[in-house]
A = this chain, B = another copy of it.
Amino acid sequence: MSGAAVRPLTLAIDAMGGDRAPMMVIEGMNRAVDSIKNVRFLLFGRSDEVAPLVQGFRRLRTRVELRHATDVIAASERPSTALRGGRNSSMRQAIDAVAAGEADGVVSAGNTGALMAMAKFVFKTLPGVDRPAIASVFPSLRGRTVLLDLGANVNCGADNLVQFAVMGEVFARNVLGLQNPSVGLLNVGEEDLKGNDAVKKAAAILQQSKLAIRFHGFVEGDDIAMGTVDVVVTDGFSGNIALKTAEGTARLYTHYLKRALISSPLARLGALLAGPALRKMRARFDPRLYNGAMFLGLNGICVKSHGGTDAFGFCNAIRVAAELVSDGVNDGIKQDFAFLSAGPAADPKLAIG
């Protein structure tokens, strides 16, 4: 989107999405004002509900322009219905503001399917991208791992996976600041003969492509947490299952840890002494820290916050959108697809980035 350089960073926010909206959204914005320099907001929602809340935050209210939107997309609404009938919704109005050049990106904690359908319809995909992907960043032994797709595309062909690999690599380079990010394809084994047709064909394409020097090969589910590669590529079905399985496992572990630490007077005393260290460790796994899934491959920045998050988590989703804008992710994706489709590289060492 144009105009980012000539005015402060402007984000369009859907005030009405999320379990505890609009209050959670506005508190999140208030936190973001403290941590993101010069950020401004266009806030879309029911002005009678939202305006009094914004007034309660002195520093925030000078950075917000409130725009009235009559409708709200329900969490249960079908994407197709939202797309047809949701033109006056806060979600759609926020997306339209980005398309109109009034904002640099949009953040919503509302219905994921509706947000993706609308963002795809309004923004269209970037050149070279057939389908956008949902990407997020996870804690790993080596630091952080990017995982995509997390659920936008339940069925993926080899070409989709290859495109996700390109987008993930650009993200790791531009936003995570990695010089030579490595990319792995999620599979049920590391050997070439394992897996379904899509992953085998995608691996063959990547090995022959200019991205070959970044392509590690197949990885397995445990490699996400181990940080074996910087970017893990998979279809939206497996990616969503991996994401949710990791969340569930972490929750189960936390539950039993808490129970163990109150199981005896000695354990309670131990927990008291080790408390600060344990809290620091738990903070590392705090899902709110990783809140803000990116829709990669669209000609517009769109970030989806978890619907059940709080102000701390929503502020992180805003931060993700701000990073995507300022790090020029979409320009990077455009450049890489142009480069990849320009024929074989003379020198493979020069390929990508």
A residues touching B (Cβ–Cβ < 8 Å)? 76, 78, 139-141, 151, 154-155, 186, 188-189, 191, 193-196, 220-226, 234, 236-238, 240-253, 255-257, 259-261, 263-264, 266-267, 269-278, 280-281, 284-285
Nearest residue, chain B, Cβ from A80 = B193
The main secondary structure of chain A at its interface with chain B is helix
B245 touches A224 (CB 8 A): yes
**A280 and B277 alpha carbons, distance in the complex (Å):** 20
Complex contacts, A236 vs chain B, CB 8 Å = 188
A142 CB to nearest B CB, Å: 10
**Could you say which residues of chain B place their CB within 8 Å of the CB of A237?**
188, 195-196, 238
B260 adjacent to A277 (CB under 8 Å): yes
Contact B245 A261 (CB under 8 A): no
User: Which residue of B195, B245, B255, B259 is within 8 Å of A246 (Cβ)?
Assistant: B245
A115 to chain B: closest CB distance in Å?
Answer: 14
Q: With A252-B226, A270-B274 known to touch, is A243 a contact of B260 (CB < 8 Å)?
A: no
- Starting from the known contacts A76-B191, A226-B251, A264-B277, 10 additional A-B residue pairs (CB-CB under 8 Å) come to A154-B196, A186-B241, A222-B244, A238-B241, A245-B245, A256-B285, A257-B257, A263-B280, A264-B276, A270-B273
B-side contacts of A221, CB under 8 Å: 240-248
